[in-house]
């Protein structure tokens, strides 16, 4: 597991994404390897704080940058971006916020890797005719489309704002607020999360939070998003979910979201209703 993790990390962003997906599937690769691959979700090597400051100042301008009173060292680093905590002066008040910053040259690196994978997929489909049914070229093309959207943090900010609006009156979920004056294509500023990673079950139990209730709540939250709103967080792996001291689930990383139209929501609801009632 550790060797696989290191190899994927060395091969670059696209392969790290593959590792992140595999980490959520212990049923396929086994618990031990899945646990080792969890490192790829938020514990990758970070770039320096001075470089981070230059990116922020360039993105929001010197005037806004002067309102950032302090910036921490990176607290989490994933394949496409890393996160810093910051104290920012907003309307004469100090706010404890988090700033997500894209890795330098990430657009070029990812697109070069995906183009190489596209070429490989094209070769495989043409040499081994039976693989055409897997639609490898189509899959890589879709991955490229999704990843390029994920690398524009304005899309993520808009998604987070919409999800927050949809769930603001729901119990058990707390979506961070976006601060648009400190957000651009390359940086995203939002409420600082005070919570425990959902993977840390022992720490959650030490806060006297009922794990069974938390699990039920997580499923209900997802179904409300999908069936009621038709707009849902589509990347709910362990690295993107936190639990606060009140037992609320706090999602982060809104780069990959899903939408369902009215007909598909009805179809999904009917499937679930039939399944629950065992009316197959």
Q: Is 231's pLDDT higher than 80? A: yes
Q: Which two tokens stand for residue 180?
A: 């648009």
The three-class DSSP label of residue 8 is helix
Average pLDDT over residues 161-189: 95
Please determine, for residue 196, whether its predicted confidence score (pLDDT) is greater than 80. Answer: yes
Comparing 34 with 98, the larger pLDDT belongs to 98
Q: How confident is the model at residue 147 (pLDDT cuts 50, 70, 90)?
A: confident
**Top mean-pLDDT range of 21-25, 45-49, 153-157:** 153-157
Which range has the worst mean pLDDT, 58-67, 80-89, 105-114, 259-268?
Answer: 105-114
pLDDT at residue 44 in the model: 65
The residue count of the chain comes to 280
82, two tokens: 């890393």
Cα–Cα distance for residue pair 215/184, rounded to 1 Å: 35
CA proximity to 198, closest of 161, 238, 149, 144: 238
- pLDDT tier for residue 248 given thresholds of 50, 70 and 90: very high
pLDDT score recorded for residue 41: 62
CB atoms within 10 A of CB 98: 20
- Contact partners, residue 19, CB within 8 Å, separation at least 6: 4, 5, 8, 9, 37, 40
278: left (phi over 0), alpha (psi -120 to 50) or beta: left
Q: What is the mean pLDDT of the chain?
A: 89
φ, ψ dihedrals at 13, nearest 5°: -55, -45
Distance CA 239, CA 74 (A): 15
- Cβ 23 vs Cβ 38: under 8 Å: yes
Residue 42: the pLDDT is 59
pLDDT at residue 229, rounded to an integer: 95
d(CA 226, CA 173): 15
Q: Tokens 């905590």 label which residue?
A: 85
> What average pLDDT score do residues 21-27 get?
76
pTM exceeds 0.85 for this model: no
Q: How far is C-alpha 212 from the chain's CA centre?
A: 24
Catalytic residue among 36, 42, 191, 235: 235
Predicted confidence at residue 170, as pLDDT, reads 94
Angstrom distance (rounded) from CA 254 to CA 153: 9
Residue 213 reports pLDDT greater than 80: yes
**Can 235 be counted among the known catalytic residues?**
yes
Is residue 14 over pLDDT 80?
no
């Amino acid at each position: 597991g550790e060797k696989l993790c290191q190899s994927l990390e060395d091969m670059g962003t696209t392969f790290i994404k593959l590792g992140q997906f595999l980490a959520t599937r212990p049923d396929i690769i086994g618990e031990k390897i899945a646990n080792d691959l969890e490192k790829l979700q938020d514990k990758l090597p970070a770039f320096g704080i001075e470089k981070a400051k230059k990116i922020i100042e360039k993105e929001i301008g010197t005037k806004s940058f002067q309102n950032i009173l302090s910036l921490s060292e990176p607290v989490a680093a994933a394949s496409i971006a890393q996160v810093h905590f910051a104290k920012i002066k907003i309307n004469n008040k100090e706010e404890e916020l988090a700033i997500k910053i894209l890795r330098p040259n990430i657009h070029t690196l990812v697109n070069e890797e995906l183009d190489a994978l596209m070429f490989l997929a094209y070769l495989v489909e043409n040499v081994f005719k039976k693989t055409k049914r897997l639609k490898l070229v189509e899959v890589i093309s879709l991955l490229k489309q999704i990843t390029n959207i994920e690398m524009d943090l304005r899309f993520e900010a808009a998604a987070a704002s919409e999800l927050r609006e949809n769930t603001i009156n729901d119990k058990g979920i707390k979506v961070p607020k976006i601060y648009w004056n400190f957000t651009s294509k390359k940086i995203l500023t939002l409420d600082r999360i005070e919570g425990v990673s959902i993977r840390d079950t022992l720490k959650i139990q030490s806060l006297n939070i009922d794990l069974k209730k938390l699990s039920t709540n997580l499923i209900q939250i997802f179904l409300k998003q999908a069936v009621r709103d038709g707009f849902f967080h589509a990347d709910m792996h362990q690295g993107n979910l936190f639990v606060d001291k009140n037992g609320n689930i706090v999602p982060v990383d809104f780069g990959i979201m899903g939408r369902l139209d009215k007909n598909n929501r009805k179809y999904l609801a009917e499937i679930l209703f039939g399944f629950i009632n065992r009316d197959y």
